[in-house]
A and B are shown apart, each in its own frame.
Chain A
Amino acid sequence: IAGITQAPTSQILAAGRRMTLRCTQDMRHNAMYWYRQDLGLGLRLIHYSNTAGTTGKGEVPDGYSVSRANTDDFPLTLASAVPSQTSVYFCASSDGDRGPTEQFFGPGTRLTVL
């Protein structure tokens, strides 16, 4: 693995189903993030984690949950998917110990909820 990986690449999901998007990084970055990107809107932060064992809510957290059991993994769960959660989801990480630094992004997961 080099950088950040996400799985699946794309998914079509029936409304009401539970879905977990996976994210793994091998850069030993402390901070990780989940964004959604919708046409005409900027990236919006869903949840973040500044270090393993801690998580926080972003701008649009409702309907999503995260966990950070270790440094490398940061899964995002949709407990009961709704059509408005159709979006492209990006996971990102940064080396937060060095102050404001760039975020590195995974390739994204394209999710369609029907």
Chain B
Amino acid sequence: GQNIDQPTEMTATEGAIVQINCTYQTSGFNGLFWYQQHAGEAPTFLSYNVLDGLEEKGRFSSFLSRSKGYSYLLLKELQMKDSASYLCAVMDSNYQLIWGAGTKLIIKP
């Protein structure tokens, strides 16, 4: 079956760095997406990886290893507004997104 695993909840301190991991097993692979979702709001796109390696976008970076079925989202210089859920999703062979349950990130001052 298809499966996306990510931690349920993480806590970090304002100004610090946090890494949110995602492992996946899917039928086919057409890329991995990270989305941010604030409580009560819609998910918004953060990053897309289809090749192995690190993609950097400001304070956020995303890494992919296709051979290991593994990705992580790295958030630097954490701000209180980064408190949100972070969703990992894999696009399968049918070009449909398979979603993880999300990681709730709590930022403490």
Contacts and interface: CB of A to CB of B under 8 A. Distances in A.
Interface of A: 40-45, 48, 58, 90, 96, 100, 102-108
A45 B96 contact: yes
Contacts of A48: 96
Contacts of A40: 101
B48 A43 contact: no
Q: Using C-beta atoms within 8 Å of the partner chain, give the interface range for chain B.
A: 20 to 34
Contacts of B95: 96, 100
Contacts of A107: 41-42
Given A42-B101, A102-B33, 18 more contacts: A40-B101, A41-B101, A42-B4, A42-B87, A42-B89, A43-B43, A43-B89, A43-B97, A45-B96, A58-B96, A100-B48, A100-B91, A100-B95, A103-B97, A104-B45, A105-B42, A108-B41, A108-B42
Q: Is the contact region of chain A dominated by helix, strand, or loop, or is it mixed? A: loop
Interface in B44-86: 44-45, 48, 50
16 contacts: A40-B101, A41-B101, A42-B87, A42-B98, A42-B102, A43-B87, A43-B89, A44-B99, A96-B95, A100-B30, A100-B50, A105-B43, A106-B42, A107-B41, A107-B42, A108-B41
B31 interface: yes
